[in-house]
Amino acid sequence: MAGVALDHGVALDHTSVAVHDAMAWARRLRRELGATPIFGEQLAQFRYLLLHIGTADDGARLELLEPRGEGFLTRFLGARGEGPHHLTFVVADLRATVVHARALGLTVVGEDHDHPPWREAFIAPDDRHGVVIQLAQSDRSYPPVEQLLSSRTRDVEDFPGSRGATEPHWWTRLWQTAPGAVARLGATHLASTDLAFSRLVFGDLLGARVTEIDSALELSWPGGSVRVHASDRPGVTGMSLRGGPAGGIAIGPARLGPGVLHP
């Protein structure tokens, strides 16, 4: 699960969904939304594929996570079924961000500070946001979106990569699926039981530009945005989508669809 390198600040890298069959979903998203594969790898317990849905100027990244052995992902799918699993933010200083997160009372697990291509840590889900937040730092970066959209070449040696990952080309048969008309993926919608705390986490800790719109928080970073809605049922409810099927696409309880996705 990898993204971009930063000299300073924070970027929203992607929203990740857990699915039973990543290739089947990738083919559907390519046919119906014109999705373009960026990169994927296989690890002991899972494999992933990162997609860009949109144009070079308007779009967002969605990651598909598929279990490959018993572990956290099989437990997640067994308990909840397919649906949103985590949000990933790339930060300039992972250690400092982890210290700040703990100072806010957040639980941080799974720290790995010793793999420069993809250092990571995870903020465990709580009863306010109900979703894992992955923090990452990398000394590598992907090519510009324009290049990724115009070429099937992927020089994976220079891409951010997870510790112990293999099979960086496992997903390339996706190119055999003809793309449909390009839709544009937008903001991730997140239900929160505590908007004041959401402002602290995403604004203070993760450096979002925060705007209040219709009793919600619009949080913006390089790479994308998150709209946080007040609710007594926390969790990611979906992502805004322009184009594609009229009713959008449901992935478990979440939806890629038009308009504001209230919880």
How many Å apart are CA 241 and CA 243, to the nearest integer?
A: 6
How many Å apart are CA 20 and CA 84, to the nearest integer?
A: 13
Q: Which of 152, 176, 200 is the last residue of a domain?
A: 176
Range of the structural domain that residue 153 is part of? 10-163+172-176
How many Å apart are CA 252 and CA 136, to the nearest integer?
A: 26
- Encoded tokens for 194: 């505590």
Looking at the domain assignment, is residue 262 inside a domain? no
Asked if residue 242 and residue 192 are part of one domain, the reply reads yes
CATH of the domain at 109: 3.10.180.10
Q: State how many domains the chain has.
A: 2
Q: Which of 176, 208, 241 is the last residue of a domain?
A: 176
Asked if residue 137 and residue 20 are part of one domain, the reply reads yes
Q: Which of 147, 176, 205 is the last residue of a domain?
A: 176
Q: Which of 187, 184, 196 is nearest to 87 (CA)?
A: 187
**What is the value of pTM for the model shown?**
0.95
pLDDT (tens, 9 = 90+) of the chain, 263 residues, equals: 444 444 458 999 999 999 999 999 999 999 999 999 999 999 999 999 999 999 999 999 999 999 998 999 999 999 999 999 999 999 999 999 999 999 999 999 999 999 999 999 999 999 999 999 999 999 999 999 999 999 999 999 899 999 999 999 999 999 999 999 999 999 999 999 999 999 999 999 999 999 998 889 999 999 999 999 999 999 999 999 999 999 999 999 999 999 656 55
